[in-house]
Amino acid sequence: MPLFSVLSRRMISRLGCTAVCLFTLGITQVQAQPADTEAAAADTSNTGQRPHGQLPLQELRNFTEIFERIRSAYVEEVDDKTLLEYAINGMLTSLDPHSAYLQPEAFSDLQENTSGKFGGLGIEVGMEDGLILVVTPIDDTPAQKAGIRAGDLIVSLDGEAVMGMNLNDAVERMRGAPGSEITLEIRRKSEKELLTFTLARAEIKVASVRTEMLSGGIGYVRITQFQEHTGSELASAIEDWRSNDTLNGIILDLRNNPGGVLDAAVEVVDSFISQGLIVYTKGRTPSAEVSYSATNHTPAGNIPVVVLINGGSASASEIVAGALQDHQRAVIVGTQSFGKGSVQSVLPITEDRAVKLTTARYFTPNGRSIQAQGINPDIWVEQSEVTPYEQRFYKEADLPGHLSNPTEKESKAPEQGTAAGSNAEADPSAGLLKKDFQLYEAHTLLRGVTILSPRPEA
């Protein structure tokens, strides 16, 4: 099939007669340029610039020459359509790490990720020592019901070892049509032998917003990624807390949140501020120049907020953290964020193909670009494990013959360890705080703010 036939008419009109001559079969010979084209080339050679809209002829010659060499000499025959798709893919991936050519499967995956629905097992996974690490099973999914636990290591999928398999390939193998089955072999630290699970896939709906009420009236919000309904789900959770509980503070957890839908990030910020700029973008085209501002609908009111971030917080997460930091609306706690400050637009080409193209950079309200720099927290807290050690101090109550307390004559000092145990039972969130040091520090900070806040007069 002649390469000329795959070009769009628009591209041909831009190329002019000389370039059209290049795109014929037998491209190794190029016809001479008309005199006016040679003159134009001579004029632009002195400046190093081409007239606007003119394509570089020598590079086009190189492309068509390489294309023909591959068609005729590559060890295996490759059809023209495949070669052109390879060329498109290479052109986009060479621009930056986030631009890409989305063929049917990748385009479908992108639509699933933004909607939060897909057919799969219901586990959040990562990589550890070449194996697939189960970060957490999602509630009420095939994985959770089968007994798969956080910390399990997946060794094989349907009998094929995952060692050497990249994470994306493993995720694709675990996804599939609801009702189809897959067998996993799992290594668990507490078990000597590998465990085998055969699971039936189901439609998984990822909840992007998870909430929990911690002690002291501190609301905890975990946003795993920004989806279409993230903003409305967050606003609803805050309104429920304020109507049913005494809400003294909010912890917004954006750690390991890779981003997602820009509009959702704007809605999240809008839940905390009532006026002012949230984010703006700058690009080369007029459509890339966009700004977003807050509305007067602010469910959180003036409730104190702490935002948790780390190196896995990227893109939309950084928009939220940067906006709340610039407005001095929240204290940012954790470690420096990832630093992805570019905007990708998905441009459909056909019904099942699209181009994901970086079209702009985004900036915080104060004009800070996050690109390749990230958000620095106001309070730097590394994630770590804290193991308290036992101490025994003699108190006044231990001394023989000590004076009694006249205001609490019947009170008794608790036995060693009793108070901690009873507190854990009374507060179900104590276990979560004990396991997560950064969250514990954020909770402590908000408890201090609550204690120091003026109390309304009776």
Catalytic residue chosen out of the listed positions 208, 313, 315, 342: 315
Catalytic residue chosen out of the listed positions 313, 340, 356, 436: 340
Q: Is 340 a catalytic residue?
A: yes
Structure tokens of 136?
A: 């957490």
Structure tokens of 111?
A: 């639509």
Other Cβ atoms within 10 Å of 6 Cβ, number: 12
Phi/psi-derived region of residue 202, left when phi > 0, alpha when psi is between -120 and 50, beta in every other case: beta
Other Cβ atoms within 10 Å of 347 Cβ, number: 11
CA distance 263 to 320: 11
The residue to which tokens 């019904």 are assigned = 351
Is 133:162 a contact under the CB 8 Å cutoff? no
3 state SS for the chain: CCHHHHCCHHHHHHHHHHHHHHCCCCCCCCCCCCHHHHHHHHHHHCCCCCCCCCCCHHHHHHHHHHHHHHHHHCCCCCCHHHHHHHHHHHHHHCCCCCCEEECHHHHHHHHHHHHCEEEECCEEEEEECCEEEEEEECCCCHHHHHCCCCCCEEEEECCEECCCCCHHHHHHHHCCCCCCEEEEEEECCCCCCCEEEEEECEEEECCCEEEEEEHHHEEEEEECCECCCHHHHHHHHHHHHHHHCCCCEEEEECCCCCCECHHHHHHHHHCCCCCCEEEEEEECCHHHCEEEECCCCCCCCCCCEEEEECCCCCCHHHHHHHHHHHCCCCEEEECCCCCCCEEEEEEECCCCCEEEEEEEEEECCCCCECCCCCCCCCEECCCCCCCCCCCCCCCHHHCCCCCCCCCCCCCCCCCCCHHHHHHHHHCCCHHHHHHCHHHHHHHHHHHHHHHHCCCCCC
Q: Is 352 a catalytic residue?
A: no
CA distance 221 to 209: 7
Other Cβ atoms within 10 Å of 418 Cβ, number: 10
Is 146:130 a contact under the CB 8 Å cutoff? no
Structure tokens of 355?
A: 């181009």
Catalytic residue chosen out of the listed positions 152, 253, 326, 436: 326
Task: Show which residues are catalytic.
Answer: 315, 326, 340
